[in-house]
Amino acid sequence: METSVPQSTFATKTASNMNVLAKPVLKWAGGKTQLLPVLSAKYPKSLGTKITKYIEPFFGGGAVFFDLYNSNFIKDAIILDANPELILMYKTIKKKPEALVETLHNLQKKYLLLNNSNREKLYYEIREDFNSNRKSNYKELNPIRASQIVFMNRTCFNGLFRVNRKGGFNVPYGNYKNPKILDSENIYAVSKAFQIAEILHGDYEDILALVKSNDVFIYYDPPYRPLNDTSNFNSYTGVFNDSHQIRLANIFKILNEKGIYQMLSNSDPMSATGDNFFDKLYEDFNISRVEAKRMINSNASKRGKIFELLITNY
pLDDT digits (tens, 9 = 90+) for 162-212: 888 777 899 999 989 899 999 999 999 999 999 999 999 999 999 999 999
Give the residues across from 306 on adjacent strands.
Answer: 292
Phi, psi (rounded to 5 degrees) for 177: -70, -45
CATH numbers and ranges of domains, the chain:
15-312 (3.40.50.150)
Rounded-to-integer distance, Cα 8 and Cα 66, Å: 26
pLDDT for the residue numbered 15: 44
Rounded-to-integer distance, Cα 104 and Cα 151, Å: 8
Which is higher by pLDDT, 234 or 41? 41
Which is higher by pLDDT, 114 or 30? 114
**What dihedral do alpha carbons 121, 123, 127, 133 form, nearest 10°?**
90
| Contact between residue 180 and residue 137 where contact means Cβ atoms under 8 Å apart | no
**What dihedral do alpha carbons 119, 87, 219, 245 form, nearest 10°?**
90
Pairing verdict, β 197-201 and 76-81? parallel
- The DSSP output letter for 61 is T
For the stretch 52-76, pLDDT in tens is 999 999 999 999 999 999 999 999 9
pLDDT for the residue numbered 6: 40
Pairing verdict, β 76-81 and 53-56? parallel
Give the residues across from 79 on adjacent strands.
Answer: 56, 199
| Contact between residue 238 and residue 246 where contact means Cβ atoms under 8 Å apart | no
Its pTM stands at 0.88
Task: Quickly count: other Cβ atoms within 10 Å of residue 204's Cβ.
Answer: 19
Pairing verdict, β 305-312 and 286-293? antiparallel
